[in-house]
């Protein structure tokens, strides 16, 4: 047996048949007729002969090959099969953040979330582009903060906090499954990224509602019929944007003036019924007549639901022209609830039922009354009020 040196390895010449040299302990090098030199480790485990290729010379130096051999020999002595250990290491090298996120979404989110598409949009738009190629075993907290800071810098601090929340959950899943030793996002707080989030209290005044409505009915914009009528429907019904985006015509019974939202489209994972007042039905009829799609508010292609970002982006575009500052799609829902209480003096419990909120546990247990007659009355009153408010032109 020879004690390998760099000079000895360099001088090895190819033969007609594969040649092999061993230093001892199973560490050797194969010399192929074509001139290739390959490092090898031969060993026995459970009385069975095995071998593993360590690498090729000169890409893998003698020192690196010997180091690799020594590590694997120690694994074998402790009862671990070097080949299986190496395969696991190779798999870890290939296992990226994208691999984990994809597994987390398909194995956990799709099965346990009522609205998994919200998470899917975060994954596709932000997580995979920013972190997807990072090797899971080497990702650090700093990698996560750099990615989230880039979202904050583009002017989306609240969105950055949502991405952080998703990453925390995904990495925790990886720890539970044994893919990660620790969660690199575990100690990050929202206040460290996008800042502490304060509950919004923005709602439109009656004057602002009138200004917005008349603007939508004017020729001073290029807003699509879908977006224009979506804004009106949310103001009239107080539904969540997701409930409206995913709505199909099969959910509507115009004879009964009733919209039944299936549980899979609601935040509370429960069926929700919405009374349709006359003005709401008029707006829906307009959509049905001019836009031929299974979806009430379809995307441009009309064979898919409106995307989650379409309505917020449209509202951002028109704010300056409308002259109503800093309002969002969700503020329309808050406007509905606020005006029902302040303007129409509707009972707060009825308003909560109109919004589809879950009642406090003790009330939900003993009170199953959906208050449909009271909700119908409230929505009819609100529809009539909006109709009267907006049929008169703005005063100069």
CA torsion, ordered 358, 206, 158, 177, to nearest 10 deg: 20
Cα separation, 185 vs 167, in Å, equals: 7
Cα separation, 185 vs 142, in Å, equals: 9
Picking from 39, 48, 132, the residue whose alpha carbon sits closest to that of residue 86 is 39
Fill in the DSSP letter of residue 47: T
Picking from 209, 220, 245, 217, the residue whose alpha carbon sits closest to that of residue 327 is 209
At 93 the pLDDT is 59
Report all structural domains of the chain as residue ranges with CATH numbers, in order of start. Answer: 6-93 (3.30.160.390), 97-193 (1.10.150.130), 206-390 (1.10.443.10)
* Bond preceding residue 267 cis, omega within 30 of 0: no
Phi, psi of 290 (to 5 degrees): -100, -20
CA atoms within 13 A on the CB side of 212: 27
Contact 364, 238 (CB under 8 A): no
Contact 204, 332 (CB under 8 A): yes
Contact 66, 29 (CB under 8 A): no
At 366 the pLDDT is 37
Cα separation, 167 vs 147, in Å, equals: 11
pTM over 0.85: no
pLDDT in tens, the chain (396 residues): 558 888 888 888 888 888 888 888 889 889 998 888 999 888 887 788 888 888 889 888 988 988 988 888 888 888 888 887 777 666 665 678 898 899 999 989 888 876 787 788 889 989 999 998 888 888 999 999 999 999 888 878 888 899 999 999 999 998 998 888 899 999 998 888 877 666 667 899 999 999 999 999 988 888 899 999 999 999 999 999 989 999 999 999 999 999 999 988 888 778 999 999 999 999 999 999 998 899 999 988 778 888 888 898 888 888 888 888 888 888 999 999 999 999 999 999 999 999 988 765 544 443 456 788 999 999 999 999 999 999 876 554
At 389 the pLDDT is 93
Dihedral of CA 87/89/93/95: which sign?
Answer: positive
Q: Where are the alpha helices (DSSP H) in the chain?
A: 6-11, 62-77, 82-94, 97-104, 110-112, 116-122, 128-131, 141-153, 157-177, 190-193, 206-216, 225-237, 241-245, 278-290, 310-322, 329-342, 348-355, 361-366, 372-390
Stated length of the chain: 396
How many CB atoms within 10 Å of residue 93? 12
At 395 the pLDDT is 56
């Amino acid at each position: 047996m020879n004690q390998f040196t760099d000079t000895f390895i360099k001088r090895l010449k190819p033969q007609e048949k594969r040649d092999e040299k061993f230093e001892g302990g199973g560490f050797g090098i194969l010399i192929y007729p074509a001139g290739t030199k390959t490092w090898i480790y031969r060993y026995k485990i459970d009385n069975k002969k095995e071998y593993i290729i360590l690498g090729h010379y000169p890409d893998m130096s003698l020192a690196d090959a010997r180091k690799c051999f020594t590590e694997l020999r120690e694994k074998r002595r402790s009862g671990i099969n070097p080949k299986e250990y190496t395969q696991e290491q190779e798999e870890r090298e290939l296992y990226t953040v994208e691999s984990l996120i994809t597994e987390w979404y398909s194995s956990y989110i799709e099965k346990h979330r009522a609205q998994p598409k919200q998470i899917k949009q975060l994954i596709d738009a932000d997580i995979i582009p920013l972190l997807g190629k990072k090797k899971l075993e080497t990702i650090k907290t700093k990698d996560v903060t750099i990615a989230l800071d880039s979202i904050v810098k583009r002017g989306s601090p609240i969105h950055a906090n949502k991405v952080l929340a998703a990453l925390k959950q995904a990495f925790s899943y990886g720890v539970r499954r044994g893919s990660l030793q620790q969660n690199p996002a575990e100690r990050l707080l929202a206040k460290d990224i996008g800042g502490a989030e304060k509950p919004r209290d923005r709602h439109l005044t009656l004057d602002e509602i009138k200004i917005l409505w008349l603007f939508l009915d004017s020729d001073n914009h290029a807003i699509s019929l879908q977006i224009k009528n979506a804004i009106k429907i949310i103001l009239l019904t107080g539904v969540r944007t997701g409930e409206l985006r995913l709505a199909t015509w099969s959910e509507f019974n115009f004879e009964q003036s009733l919209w039944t939202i299936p549980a899979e489209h609601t935040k509370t994972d429960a069926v929700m019924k919405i009374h349709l007042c006359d003005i709401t039905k008029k707006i829906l009829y307009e959509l049905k007549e001019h836009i031929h799609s299974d979806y009430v508010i379809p995307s441009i292609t009309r064979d898919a639901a409106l995307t989650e970002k379409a309505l917020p982006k449209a509202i951002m575009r028109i704010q300056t022209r409308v002259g109503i500052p800093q309002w969002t799609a969700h503020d329309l829902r808050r406007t509905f609830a606020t005006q029902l209480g302040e303007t129409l003096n509707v009972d707060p419990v009825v308003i909560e039922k109109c919004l589809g909120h879950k009642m406090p546990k003790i009330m939900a247990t003993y009170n199953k009354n959906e208050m449909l007659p009271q909700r119908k009355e409230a929505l009819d009153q609100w529809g009539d009020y909006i109709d009267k408010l907006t049929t008169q032109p703005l005063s100069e």
